[in-house]
Amino acid sequence: MDTREQQSVDNLERLNAAARKLSEIQKSQLVVDLDAAWAEHEKVDRPIVFRFQGAEYQVPSSMPADFGRFYRRHCLRPGKDANGDATTLFVIPDGDLMWEFFETLAGADFSEAFSKTRIPLKVLMESVIGPIMREWGLFVTDEAAAESEGEKKSLTNAS
């Protein structure tokens, strides 16, 4: 290999080394530190507090990911509004999923306490669930409520 070819090979190796170094720098700058972002969020986040049967319960002021996933999987149904127009209805699911809804929304202790009462779901919806969900940006009203197993449990989702 002559001097020119060797010089070209050396230059190419230097360029490749510089490109690798630049790539490593760029990768390190692209890393998002979710732990740091969460710690910062927790410093300013003020939970929503509500009382039920003498106990206080706290929920985050912004919707947790597990509730969002549950809500989208189990609580949204196609339907019609009061004018007969197509809309998406918010429905609290029946059976075991109803208790999972309460647990995902406000915790296992609340779900257990509520399961032992005779308080109508409508009262819980108007006083606790509705305000929490509106705070989370899930705008629910009790217009066009549908019947579900003898009790009004379906609310129009206006979002």
**DSSP output for 60-107:** -SS--HHHHHHHHHHTEEEEE-TTS-EEEEEEPPPTHHHHHHHHHHH-
Q: What are phi and psi of 9, to 5 degrees?
A: -65, -45
Give pLDDT tens digits for 112-154.
Answer: 999 999 989 889 888 899 899 989 988 776 543 333 333 433 3
- 156 contacts: CB under 8 Å, gap ≥ 6: 79, 81, 87, 89, 90, 140, 141, 142, 143, 144, 145
d(CA 84, CA 79): 9
Judged against a pLDDT cut of 80, whether residue 98 lies above it is answered with yes
Tens of pLDDT, residue by residue over 22-52, are 888 777 777 778 888 878 877 787 899 999 9
What does the pLDDT read at residue 158?
38
Higher pLDDT, 145 or 77: 77
Predicted model pTM: 0.63
Tokens at residue 146, please? 């549908």
Q: What confidence score (pLDDT) does residue 116 get?
A: 92
Name residue 144's beta-bridge partners: none
